[in-house]
C-alpha cells in the first residue's frame, strides 16, 4: 500500500506498528500476521475487543460497549482508527502476576474466610472485580474484591471453604498472616460506574457473591450515590448470613441503603421463616425494572435465572451486571 | 434517497430493537428451546449483528458464516417454521418501534434471503 500517508502508530507486544490513514487497528494487526479474533468487522459482534493501556481511544471504537468496559479502556479493534499513538493489548493478555502479603485472616462464619492482602506494588482495581490467586504455576482460582480502593489500604476477599477444594482449603488451613501470595490483576465488568447519582440499584447475591456486592455498595456510597440501593443476600442456612450485623448497621447509617436477607432453608433453632424465592423478591423490589440497574453475583444457575427474570420483566440487558461464579472441574470454585 | 438502515434509525435503532426482539424470542415457545442455556450477553451481541444485517446496515456476514453458525441447530431440528417465527417476531418488534410497513417488508426480505444458508439447504 505504498503511497499512503503514515498517520500514526500503535504499540503492540512491544513493537511499534505504523498505521496508514483510515486504517483500523484490526486490519494493521492482521496485515502484520498477528492472530486477532474477529468476525463481523463492522463494530457489532465485539469479538475483536482489545484494551488500550496508553493513548486516546477514538469514540467510534467504543460505540456499543458497556460503560464498565469503556471505563477500562476496552475498544473494538475493527472500528478503531487512531489519530495519535496508542498502546494496545489483547483483551485477555492481563496475566501479570504480582506478590501480595497476607495482612488479615479471619473466619466470618463456619465456612467463610475473610482474607486481607496488601499488594507489594500499585494495584489498580474497582470494587466488585475479581482477581486470581495462584497456588502453583498451574492452579489458580478467582475471588471477588469486597474492598474499595479509595477507602481501604488492603484487598479483601471472602473465601468459602469448598469440600475437597484445593485452593480454598489451602487458604483456610495453611495460609497465615505474613505469608506472600501471587495474585493477578483485577478483571471483570461488574462494578459501579459513576453517572446518574439518583439511579435505583438492585444488588442480589448468593453465598460469597455478597463480597463483590458489598464492595460495589461501599464504592457507590463513597462516590456520592444518592438513589435507592437495595441489597439482597441469599443463603441456604441462617448461619450463612456472614455479614448480617455489618449490613444492618450500614443500612442504619446510610438512608439510601436497604438490606434484605433471604434464607432458603428454614431451621428450627431460629425464628427465621423461609423467604419467598429470590426471583420473586427482586421483582417485588424493582417494581418498574426498566428504571433500575442490577448487579447479580454468586451461584451461576441462580444468577442466570435472576438475569433472565429481570430482562424479561423489562430491564435493559445493558443495565444488568453479573458475575456468575463457575465451579471448576477440579471441584474447587470461586464461590 | 436514504437507505433502509438510515430510515429505520441506524445503530440507535438496533440498540433499541435488540432487547425487545430478544425478549420476544425468549418468550416464544416455538423457538425459545434453541436459546436455552445460551449466554445471554453473548447472544445479545449476536442479535445486534443479525439486526444490523437485516436492517441493511454495515456487515460482513457471509453465507458460510450463516451455515457454520446454525449447523448445530439444524442438527437439532431447526427448519422453515422456526425461520418463519423469527421473521414474524422481527416484524412485531419493528411495528412496536413505529417502523413503516414497507420498510418492515424490506427487512423481512433480507431475513428471508439468508434462509437457505441458515437452514443449510
pLDDT tens-digit series, residues A232-249:
999 999 999 999 999 999
**Chain B closest CA to A122's CA: distance in Å?**
32
Q: What parts of chain A have a pLDDT lower than 70?
A: 1-4, 45, 92-96, 266-274, 327-335
Considering the segment(s) A6-91 as one domain, its CATH architecture is Roll (3.10)
Query: What DSSP element (H or E) covers A303?
Result: helix A300-312
Subunit contact A44:B49, Cβ cutoff 8 A = yes
* Residue B78 · residue B114 · CB < 8 Å: no
**Nearest 5°: phi and psi at A158?**
-110, 120
User: How much is the mean pLDDT over chain A?
Assistant: 88
Residues sharing a CB contact under 8 Å with residue A301, sequence separation 6 or more, in sequence order? none
Subunit contact A46:B45, Cβ cutoff 8 A = yes
Reading the block at residue B60, the C-alpha cell is 460482513
Cα A49–Cα A55–Cα A56 angle in degrees, nearest 5: 75
Residue of A nearest to B48 (CA): A44
Which residue in A40, A304, A316 is closest to B49 by CB distance? A40
DSSP assignment string, A58-84: PGGGGTT--HHHHHTTEEEGGG---SS
* Residue A199 · residue A315 · CB < 8 Å: no
Separation CA A194–CA A202 (nearest Å)? 15
What is the residue extent of each domain of chain A?
6-91, 97-187, 200-324
Taking only the tens place, the pLDDT of each residue in B41-73 is: 888 988 998 999 999 998 877 778 888 889 989
Query: What topology is assigned to A200-324 in CATH?
Result: Rossmann fold (3.40.50)
**Chain B closest CA to A250's CA: distance in Å?**
32
Which residue in A44, A63, A307 is closest to B59 by CB distance? A44
Q: What ipTM goes with this model?
A: 0.88
Q: Which residues on chain A are in Cβ contact (under 8 Å) with B22? A: 311, 317
Which CATH code for domain A97-187?
2.40.30.10
Instruction: Tell me whether A39 touches chain B (CB under 8 Å).
Output: yes
Calculate the alpha carbon distances from A154 to A104, A121, A124, B11 in Å: 9, 12, 12, 43
Separation CA A266–CA A238 (nearest Å)? 8
| Model confidence, pTM | 0.80
Amino acid at each position: 500500500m505504498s503511497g499512503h500517508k503514515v498517520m500514526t502508530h500503535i504499540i503492540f507486544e512491544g513493537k511499534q506498528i505504523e498505521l496508514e490513514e483510515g486504517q483500523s487497528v484490526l486490519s494493521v494487526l492482521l496485515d502484520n500476521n498477528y492472530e486477532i479474533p474477529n468476525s463481523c468487522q463492522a463494530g457489532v459482534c465485539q469479538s475483536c475487543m482489545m484494551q488500550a493501556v496508553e493513548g486516546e481511544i477514538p469514540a467510534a471504537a467504543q460505540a456499543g460497549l458497556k460503560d464498565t468496559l469503556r471505563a477500562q479502556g476496552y475498544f473494538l479493534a475493527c472500528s478503531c482508527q487512531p489519530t495519535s499513538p496508542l498502546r494496545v493489548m489483547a483483551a485477555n493478555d492481563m496475566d501479570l502476576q504480582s506478590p501480595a502479603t497476607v495482612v488479615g485472616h479471619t473466619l466470618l462464619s463456619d465456612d467463610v474466610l475473610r482474607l486481607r492482602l496488601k499488594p507489594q506494588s500499585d494495584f489498580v482495581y474497582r470494587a466488585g472485580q475479581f482477581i486470581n490467586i495462584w497456588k502453583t504455576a498451574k492452579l489458580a482460582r478467582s475471588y471477588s474484591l469486597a474492598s474499595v480502593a479509595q477507602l481501604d489500604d488492603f484487598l479483601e476477599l471472602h473465601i468459602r471453604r469448598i469440600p475437597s477444594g484445593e485452593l480454598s482449603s489451602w487458604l483456610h488451613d495453611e495460609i497465615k498472616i505474613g505469608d506472600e501470595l501471587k495474585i493477578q490483576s483485577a478483571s471483570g465488568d461488574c462494578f459501579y460506574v459513576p453517572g446518574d447519582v439518583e439511579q435505583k440499584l438492585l444488588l442480589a447475591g448468593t453465598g460469597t457473591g455478597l463480597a463483590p456486592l458489598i464492595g460495589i455498595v461501599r464504592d457507590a456510597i463513597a462516590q456520592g450515590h444518592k438513589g435507592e440501593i437495595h441489597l439482597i443476600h441469599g443463603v441456604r442456612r441462617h448461619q450463612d448470613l456472614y455479614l448480617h450485623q455489618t449490613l444492618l448497621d450500614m443500612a442504619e447509617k446510610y438512608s439510601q441503603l436497604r438490606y434484605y436477607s433471604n434464607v432458603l432453608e428454614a431451621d428450627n433453632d431460629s425464628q427465621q421463616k423461609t423467604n419467598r424465592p429470590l426471583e420473586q423478591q427482586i421483582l417485588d423490589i424493582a417494581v418498574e425494572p426498566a428504571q433500575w440497574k442490577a448487579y447479580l453475583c454468586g451461584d451461576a444457575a441462580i444468577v442466570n435465572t435472576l438475569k433472565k427474570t429481570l430482562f424479561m420483566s423489562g430491564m435493559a440487558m445493558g443495565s444488568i451486571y453479573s458475575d456468575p461464579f463457575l465451579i471448576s472441574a477440579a471441584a474447587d470454585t470461586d464461590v | 434517497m436514504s437507505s433502509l438502515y438510515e430510515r429505520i434509525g441506524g445503530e440507535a435503532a438496533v440498540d433499541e430493537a435488540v432487547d425487545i426482539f430478544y425478549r420476544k424470542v425468549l418468550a416464544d415457545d416455538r423457538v425459545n428451546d434453541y436459546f436455552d442455556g445460551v449466554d445471554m450477553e453473548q447472544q445479545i451481541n449476536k442479535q445486534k449483528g443479525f439486526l444490523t444485517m437485516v436492517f441493511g446496515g454495515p456487515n460482513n456476514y457471509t453465507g458460510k458464516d450463516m451455515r457454520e453458525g446454525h449447523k448445530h441447530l439444524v442438527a437439532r431440528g431447526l427448519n422453515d417454521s422456526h425461520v418463519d417465527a423469527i421473521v414474524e417476531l422481527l416484524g412485531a418488534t419493528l411495528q412496536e418501534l413505529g417502523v413503516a410497513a414497507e420498510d418492515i417488508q424490506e427487512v423481512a426480505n433480507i431475513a428471508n434471503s439468508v434462509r437457505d444458508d441458515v437452514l443449510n439447504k
